[in-house]
Amino acid sequence: MSWNSEQKMQFLFTLRSKGVTDPRTLGAMEKVDRGQFVRGHFEDRAYDDMPLPISSGQTISQPSIVGLMTQALNVQPRDKVLEVGTGSGYQASILSHLARRVYTVDRHRRLTRESEALFSRMDLHNITVITGDGSFGLPDQAPFDRIILTAAAEDPPGPLLEQLKIGGIMVLPVGQSDTVQNLIKVTKTEAGLDYEELCNVRFVPLIEGLG
């Protein structure tokens, strides 16, 4: 399924009305058709502002939350970004239009395979997809300018904080998996870590090991 101009306009209007106002974020989201990431029964809901099921029992996140997270991450063109939780590949595709390079990790091999195929069909060549437990980060590729988690941890994982550059930003949902979580932005400075609470969210939990 691919979107027509009316669906795109409505999609961008909803994003703005939910607080996604950063022009670079909106520009990147305009380039990525969410219909390419949703299959089967839910295809006709692809442009609705709601999370939807994908394979391996996972979800593609709600577009306005993807937008708010991308906006908070404030990715710069030279940045190297790590995403934990590839899922459908939607968030990574948006990041690929904003960053120099995106590394995205998921614990489900089926999801990483499907996303990799999609990125190649979409000519997105600055994304590296890895199957693994992303809570340990990617020590070989560290440090990162930006880190985003799209699964909820009880606390920001230590290895990821270590792999964030000074001046870097991490955006993630924190809290118990079965309750409402807090979306937070962590900025690493010479003096330590600054925490900012953004909004309430509900994500699937960050789980140890491979799926």
Cβ-based neighbours of 197, under 8 Å, separated by 6 or more: 182, 183, 184
Shortest CB 189 distance to ligand SAM, Å: 27
Residues in binding contact with ligand SAM, number by CB under 6 A = 25
Closer CB to ligand SAM, residue 158 or residue 167?
A: 158
Can 88 be counted among the known catalytic residues?
no
Tell me which residue has tokens 């939350």: 65
Options 63, 67, 87, 168; binder of ligand SAM; rule CB under 6 A? 87
Query: What is the distance between the alpha carbons of residues 153 and 177, in angstroms, rounded to a whole number?
Result: 8
> Applying CB under 6 A, which part among 25-33, 117-125, 139-147, 201-209 lies near ligand SAM?
201-209
Options 90, 103, 119, 144; binder of ligand SAM; rule CB under 6 A? 90
Tell me which residue has tokens 């979580």: 181
For residue 106, state whether it binds ligand SAM (rule: CB under 6 A): yes
Closer CB to ligand SAM, residue 35 or residue 211?
A: 211
For residue 161, state whether it binds ligand SAM (rule: CB under 6 A): no
C-alpha separations of 188 from 70, 79, 123 in Å: 17, 15, 33
Binding mask 115-154 for ligand SAM (x = CB under 6 A): ------------------xxx--------------xx---
Query: What is the distance between the alpha carbons of residues 50 and 86, in angstroms, rounded to a whole number?
Result: 17
Cβ-based neighbours of 43, under 8 Å, separated by 6 or more: 1, 35
Binding mask 46-65 for ligand SAM (x = CB under 6 A): ------------xxxx----
Per annotation, catalytic residue among 17, 56, 61, 177: 61
For residue 112, state whether it binds ligand SAM (rule: CB under 6 A): no
Question: Radius of gyration of the chain from Cα atoms?
Answer: 16
For residue 207, state whether it binds ligand SAM (rule: CB under 6 A): yes
Contact in structure between 38 and 52 (CB atoms under 8 Å): yes
Query: What is the distance between the alpha carbons of residues 43 and 35, in angstroms, rounded to a whole number?
Result: 7
